[in-house]
Amino acid sequence: MSLDLVCLGEPLVELNQTRPDEPLLRLGHGGDTSNCAIAAARLGLKVGYWTRLGADPLGDSFLELWRREGVDASRVPRDPEAPTGLYVVTHGRDGHHFSYLRRGSAASRMRPEDLPETWLRGTRVLHASAISQAISTSACDTVFRAFEIVRAAGGAIAYDTNYRPALWPATRARAIVREAARMADILLPGLEDARALFGLEQPEAILDHLLDLGPKVVALTLGAAGAIVATPQRRERLAAHRVAAVDATGAGDAFDGAFLAVYLRTGDPFGAGRFANAAAALATTGFGAVAPLPTREAVEALLDRGDVG
């Protein structure tokens, strides 16, 4: 089966403290590229996901999640010796805190030689993030190899610069992200990550720099300030939608999935940006990264209301 989009990276089980001072943890699912895959699948794309999962019940729960969401994970290898990664969200008086238990995870042991080449050659777009590359050097090599396979088959590369300084040294991150951005057709950075990675402050300067690296489209997300979509010919600034935001976890992943869903259908990056800006706003109105990912109807209803800040 040929696919519109394959996402590649590390899925992470989420254990979320339901209330401050309570010892209960609710099991959920996260991981930037998995969130993006589900966002795009809910909006109608044919999506695949590739990673390496632990041969454990948490790995099973991801296969079950992707099956429910219509995401093809049929080529994902299982690792009998390493666990599926996870993170714990605790809530204190000063807000929420993320603790990651991902070192040595099955995903961090992905290897270029395990990539399903024929399956990858059948996708129109491959999406990965800087987190996919930060988790280990073999994962970094795997992402670059997957980029080469898809590009050689005529497919496009989408890349989110999602930066986690704790995962790798800044100098290595800067070099790898720059190279990945040079290979990408569609670049999906967030403003704070871009500032830290490229040493530039102003959104316009960041866009100049990134477009010079070669991508056809850059969609820079600005959190509660919206987003800017840029091509070498044109830029469009999008104000954020006014919504009752309660949890922005995964808003950038929702933006990526929604952007790709429309861009792949229409080829119009500005229409894709407007749609993604609305989809990501809706993703902030519920808790967790996956549950509030919207349907096409919900996004269109928000766009019809036109309620922007």
Of 39-98, binders to ligand ADP (CB under 6 A) are none
Q: Does 308 bind ligand ADP (CB under 6 A)?
A: no
Beta bridge partners of 100: 87
Crossing angle of helices 203-213 and 170-183, in 10° steps, is 60
Tell me if residue 253 is catalytic: yes
With H, G, I as helix, E, B as strand and everything else as coil, classify residue 264. helix
CA-CA distance, 43 to 86, in Å (whole number)?
Answer: 26
241 is a contact residue toward ligand ADP (CB under 6 A): yes
- Would you count residue 302 as binding ligand ADP (CB under 6 A)? no
Nearer to ligand ADP, 5 or 281 (CB): 281
- 1-40 positions binding ligand ADP, by CB under 6 A: none
- In this chain, which stretch among 117-125, 174-182, 202-210, 249-257 interacts with ligand ADP, using CB under 6 A? 249-257
Rank residues 155 and 257 by Cβ distance to ligand ADP and give the closer one. 257
Q: Which of 13, 65, 281, 290 binds ligand ADP (CB under 6 A)?
A: 281
Integer Cα distance of 73 and 52 in angstroms:
10
Burial 138-149 (b: 16+ CB within 10 A, else e): bbbebbbbbbeb
- Closest CB 56 distance from ligand ADP, rounded Å: 28
Q: Which of 190, 117, 129 is nearest to 155 (CA)?
A: 117
Q: Minimum distance between the CB of residue 259 and ligand ADP, rounded to whole angstroms?
A: 10
Query: Is residue 280 close enough to count as binding ligand ADP by CB under 6 A?
Result: yes
Contacts (Cβ under 8 Å, ≥6 apart) of 158 = 5, 125, 126, 127, 128, 184, 185, 186, 187, 188, 256, 260
Q: Is residue 222 involved in binding ligand ADP (CB under 6 A)?
A: yes
CA distance 33 to 49: 8
Residue that has been written with the tokens 């290979």 in this structure: 183
User: Could you say which of 4, 32, 247, 253 is catalytic?
Assistant: 253
* Residues with active-site annotation: 253
Could you list the residues that contact ligand ADP (CB under 6 A)? 190, 221-224, 226-227, 240-241, 243, 245, 248, 251-252, 255, 277, 280-281, 284
